[in-house]
Amino acid sequence: MDEIIRAAVVGCGMFAAKHLASYKKNPRVELAAVADVDIARAEAAAAEYEAKAYPSVADLLAGEQIDVASVTVPVCRHAEVAQELLEGGVHVLCEKPLTATGKEARRLVELAEEKGRVLTVGYAFRFTDMFATAKRWLEAGRIGRIMMARLHFAHILNKAGRGWYGEIDCGGGIVRESSTHSIDLFRWLVGDVAAVCGQAGTFGEQMTDAEDSAAYLLRSTNGALGVIDVSWATPVSQNRVEIYGADGSIVVDIDQRKATCRTIDGGEEVFSGEPAMAADRVYCEIDLLIDVIAGQAKPLVTAVDGVRAVEVAEAVMKSIKTKRWVQL
Ligand SMILES: NC(=O)c1ccc[n+]([C@@H]2O[C@H](COP(=O)([O-])OP(=O)(O)OC[C@H]3O[C@@H](n4cnc5c(N)ncnc54)[C@H](O)[C@@H]3O)[C@@H](O)[C@H]2O)c1
């Protein structure tokens, strides 16, 4: 594709830097503008990345011809910001989770279809080589029929000190804000989710009314079992995914950026060599999105994947409240 894509980033907080740097680095993209309701933040990002600053999506759309935009605002604002962009004819890469509720997510998917725009969600672990390798091993049948998976994400970072992450009405809480990464990986690697049952706790000091830790069980539609445990309040960070099949296991050690496949015949294959992760995975998701917009590729994360992850998170939250299994 020869045409240069004009990009914008809406929301210039902590995570926006990954999107800004990725658009800036991509030779097929011109990072044209940024927007933030906090205009000082927008102006700081605009100065750093040589773009124009706007105080709102409306002003951005009035002032610029934009092809694609990343949504990097707090979760409770995803739906309204993505809606405004789609209505303005802009393709959207929305940070995860797609929205705060399943109802909002389903509405966005309909809108994207109606407007003929691409809507994708920032489940960037799918773009890492270690998980792509695990996916290839699974598709090649290396470990046979999947029986069980464990997805463990323990983070030292205390997002509780960062405002909306600790507030349930702002889309905060680890189940929805963070564990949707695990839900998406489970759905992608193991299968869609049929039922969940969870518990949550708060161990950090600065949460307003949302949980900072959770553990839950899943059953997939193909009969596999799953365990997801996540925390923002552990004293060390440790992140790891284990998948067990009838003929072997796959372990992705995220911190070591390494994937290992062991089979019952004694075989062992190790993948390591993941490049420095955080910036690259967002770069890769944006690079693919440019191909998708040009009609040259299919999205790796569909809008429907985004909806399902929110629906599963909602079911987990319901299970925590009702202390019962919830079917999807
Ligand atoms: N993929 C990942 O691994 C990952 C990691 C961290 C955060 N995130 C996601 O990135 C998003 C942003 O998180 P963050 O930590 O950068 O948040 P943040 O609070 O640091 O920044 C959000 C910014 O959005 C602005 N904003 C709020 N409402 C707005 C609106 N209506 N229009 C324009 N700007 C608006 C705020 O002023 C703020 O500057 C969230 O969805 C979060 O879940 C993803």
Q: What would the mean pLDDT of 105-115 be, rounded to a whole number?
A: 98
Reported as a single tens digit per residue, the pLDDT across 243-253 is 999 999 999 99
**159, pLDDT greater than 70:** no
Poorest-pLDDT segment among 41-45, 119-123, 278-282: 278-282
Q: Whose CA is closest to atom 19 on ligand 1?
A: 13
pLDDT of residue 287: 96
Q: What would the mean pLDDT of 53-62 be, rounded to a whole number?
A: 98
Poorest-pLDDT segment among 95-99, 102-106, 235-239, 299-303: 235-239
Secondary structure letter of residue 160 according to DSSP: G
Phi, psi of 153 (to 5 degrees): -130, 100
Reported as a single tens digit per residue, the pLDDT across 228-244 is 999 998 989 999 999 99
Residue 136 confidence class, pLDDT cut points 50, 70, 90: very high
Residue 277 confidence class, pLDDT cut points 50, 70, 90: low
pLDDT of residue 163: 84
**What is the pLDDT of the chain when averaged over all its residues?**
95
- Contact between residue 308 and residue 179 where contact means Cβ atoms under 8 Å apart: no
**207, pLDDT greater than 80:** no
Ligand 1: atom nearest CA of 11 is 24
Q: How far is the CA of 321 from the centre of ligand 1 (A)?
A: 27
Secondary structure letter of residue 164 according to DSSP: G
Q: Probe ligand 1: pick from 36, 254, 284, max atoms within 8 Å of CB?
A: 36
Q: How far is the CA of 214 from the centre of ligand 1 (A)?
A: 22
- Contact between residue 105 and residue 44 where contact means Cβ atoms under 8 Å apart: no
Q: How far is CA 264 from the centre of its chain?
A: 33
pLDDT of residue 278: 60
DSSP strand E in the chain: where?
Answer: 5-10, 29-35, 52-54, 68-71, 91-94, 119-121, 146-154, 193-201, 213-220, 225-231, 238-245, 248-253, 258-263, 268-272, 326-327
Residue 273 confidence class, pLDDT cut points 50, 70, 90: confident
Secondary structure letter of residue 193 according to DSSP: E
Q: What would the mean pLDDT of 194-203 be, rounded to a whole number?
A: 96
Those residues with Cβ within 8 angstroms of residue 325's Cβ, 6 or more apart along the chain or in another chain: 195, 196, 197, 319
3-class DSSP assignment, residue 116 = coil
Cα distance between residue 254 and residue 8, in whole Å:
30
3-class DSSP assignment, residue 202 = coil
Amino acid at 88: G
pLDDT of residue 162: 72
Q: How far is the CA of 281 from the centre of ligand 1 (A)?
A: 18
pLDDT of residue 75: 96
Residues within 6 Å of ligand 1 by CB: 10-16, 35-38, 41, 72-75, 77, 81, 95-96, 122, 124, 164, 177
Ligand 1: atom nearest CA of 16 is 16
Q: Whose CA is closest to atom 28 on ligand 1?
A: 73
Q: Whose CA is closest to atom 37 on ligand 1?
A: 38
Identify the structural domains of the chain with CATH numbers, from first to last.
5-123+281-301 (3.40.50.720), 125-274+309-327 (3.30.360.10)
The encoded tokens of residue 249 equal 């296991």
Amino acid at 24: K
The secondary element (H helix, E strand) that includes residue 103 is helix 102-115
Would you say how long the chain is, in residues?
328
